[in-house]
Amino acid sequence: MKKSPFHFLTYVLVIGAYAALQVLQARGGLSSSLRGMLVPICAYVVMAVSLNLTVGVLGELSLGHAGFMSVGAFLGTSTAIALQDAVPVPAVRLTIALIVAALFAAIAGFLIGIPVLRLNGDYLAIVTLAFGEIIKAIFNNLYLGVDGKGVHISLLEDTTRTAETGRLIIQGPMGIGGIQKISTFTAGFILIMISLIVIFNLVNSRAGRAIMAIRDNHIAAQSVGVNIIKYKMMAFVTSAALAGSAGALFAMNYSTVVANKFDFNTSILILVFVVLGGLGNMLGSIIAAAVLTILPEALRPIAEYRMLLYAVLLIVMMLTANHPFVRAFFNRFRQTGRLRLEADGDEEREAV
């Protein structure tokens, strides 16, 4: 399978957008509200491209992507707080936190994947939906403290008995407070680039071909000797890990983080980015995530109707995308691309 020229274009546009925004920011050309949104946009972009790996490339529906974001947000941020004195350089601390966040989210993805990815059908959608809710319930009731004696954990009530010298980091429904805002736009940009490199390399590899073969026809994939569970797991765990680091990046842009921020609505919002941007189309996901994160800010007067607007947009997209006229229109593009190549060949032959 050939490398898509789309991949290259995606890198170029992301780097270009980053550079342009940096220049604008330096010249004071960004409003303060937009400046505040740069990191969340990066986090949502990573969420969208990582979910697109599961939904678009692997072809499995996940309705709990915010659950992985939550795991990453809480455990990554806790790590950063615990290391506050040991690792004074913020960039290094952030890097460690993002890696820890990715690891824990990957483990969560792996644990979910073991039972579910063996099955064919819509089980993953159901289980991830439940996973998102369970994670929310857990972090709403979790108390985690760190002191000289180590890590203390309790559920429902704070019985951690964290020493005065230590710190109670996760405080049940109050979440984590007093976070140092160490996430930066540059860190977000780097995380987007790493996500793209990981995803595009996976898609272009032998493993990527196996993953897409499973999406296309899992019986055929099985019959050519593809280890279905392994490659499904590879895509799903990668997707979860990236979402985990996006969660940590997101959380450390604010002074507090609570579990309710990563709920079903957030999962659906990210799914909307993916569907609007196009299944398997990473550039589309990036644009959809960025535009739909900025848009509500721009449309603040009608913010209450945001979810309604998305629902309507989705329905309109589905209807038009399946409309014979629209299909014929896009097919014509595709075919003319191919036909033109062949026609060129013919002309050359005639010229000779």
Partner 1 sequence: MSKEPVLKAENLNVYYGSIHAIKGVSFEVYEGEIVTLIGANGAGKSTTLNTVSGILRSRTGSVTFLGENLRRVPCHKIVARGLALVPEGRRIFLQMTVEENLEMGAFTQSPAGIAQDLEQVYALFPRLRERRKQIGGTLSGGEQQMLAMGRALMSHPKLLMLDEPSMGLAPILVEQIFQIIRNLHGAGSTILLVEQNAQAALSIANRGYVLETGKVVTTGAGQELLASPEIKKAYLGG
Q: Is 237 in the site for partner 1 (CB under 8 A)?
A: no
Q: SS3 letters for the chain?
A: CCCCHHHHHHHHHHHHHHHHHHHHHHCCCCCHHHHHHHHHHHHHHHHHHHHHHHHHHHCCCCCCHHHHHHHHHHHHHHHHHHCCCCCCCHHHHHHHHHHHHHHHHHHHHHHHHHHHCCCCCCHHHHHHHHHHHHHHHHHHCEEEEEECCEEEEEECCCCCCCCCCCEEEEEHHHCECCCCCCCCHHHHHHHHHHHHHHHHHHHHCHHHHHHHHHHHCHHHHHHCCCCHHHHHHHHHHHHHHHHHHHHHHHHCCCCCECHHHCCHHHHHHHHHHHHHHCCCCHHHHHHHHHHHHHHHHHCHHHHHHHHHHHHHHHHHHHHHHHCHHHHHHHHHHHHHHHHHHHHHHHHHHHHC
User: Please, what is the minimum distance in Å from the beta carbon of residue 311 to partner 1?
Assistant: 29
- Tally of CB atoms within 10 A around 210: 21
> How many residues bind to partner 1 according to rule CB under 8 A?
19
Work out whether 227 is an interface residue with partner 1 (CB under 8 A): yes
Q: Which stretch binds partner 1 (CB under 8 A): 71-79, 134-142, 223-231, 321-329?
A: 223-231
172-207 burial code (b ≥16 CB/10 A, e <16) = beebbeebeebbbbebbbbbbeebbebbbebbeeeb
Residue 282 binding partner 1, by CB under 8 A: no
**From residue 162, how far is each of 78, 80, 155, 177, 256 by CA, in Å?**
14, 18, 14, 16, 20
Q: Is 347 in the site for partner 1 (CB under 8 A)?
A: no
Binding segment for partner 1 among 145-153, 215-223, 306-314, 317-325 (CB under 8 A)?
Answer: 215-223
| Among the listed residues 26, 89, 224, 352, the single contact to partner 1 using CB under 8 A | 224
Contact residue for partner 1 among 33, 201, 205, 222 (CB under 8 A)? 222
Considering only the stretches 30-38, 137-145, 202-210, 251-259, report the one whose residues sit in contact with partner 1 under the rule CB under 8 A: 202-210
Of 117 and 240, CB closest to partner 1 = 117
Indicate whether 228 belongs to the interface with partner 1 (CB under 8 A): yes
Say if residues 48 and 271 touch (Cβ distance below 8 Å).
no
- Give the binding range for partner 1 (CB under 8 A) out of 4-12, 89-97, 173-181, 207-215: 207-215
Any contact of residue 226 with partner 1 (CB under 8 A)? yes
The piece of 24-32, 65-73, 213-221, 302-310 that touches partner 1 (CB under 8 A) is 213-221
Minimum CB separation of residue 348 from partner 1 in Å reads 18
CA distance 218 to 212: 9
Nearer to partner 1 by Cβ, of 48 and 228: the residue is: 228
Which one, 109 or 280, has the nearer CB to partner 1? 280
The answer to whether 55 contacts partner 1 (rule: CB under 8 A) is: no
Residue from 43, 98, 182, 221 that binds partner 1 (CB under 8 A)? 221
Q: Which CB atom, from 130 or from 213, has the smaller least distance to partner 1? A: 213
Judged by beta carbon, residue 5 or residue 225, the one nearer partner 1 is 225
If the CB atoms of residues 304 and 346 are measured against partner 1, the closer one turns out to be: 346
Binding flag, residue 213, partner 1 (CB under 8 A): yes
Q: How far is the CB of 223 from partner 1 (least distance, A)?
A: 5
Widest pairwise Cα distance in the chain = 88
Q: Does 220 bind partner 1 (CB under 8 A)?
A: yes
Minimum CB separation from partner 1 for residue 341, in Å? 10
Binding-site member from 46, 146, 199, 210 for partner 1 (CB under 8 A)? 210
- Supply 136's token pair: 């929310």
Minimum CB distance to partner 1, residue 3 (Å): 14
Binding region for partner 1 (CB under 8 A): 1, 206, 209-210, 212-213, 216-217, 219-228, 230
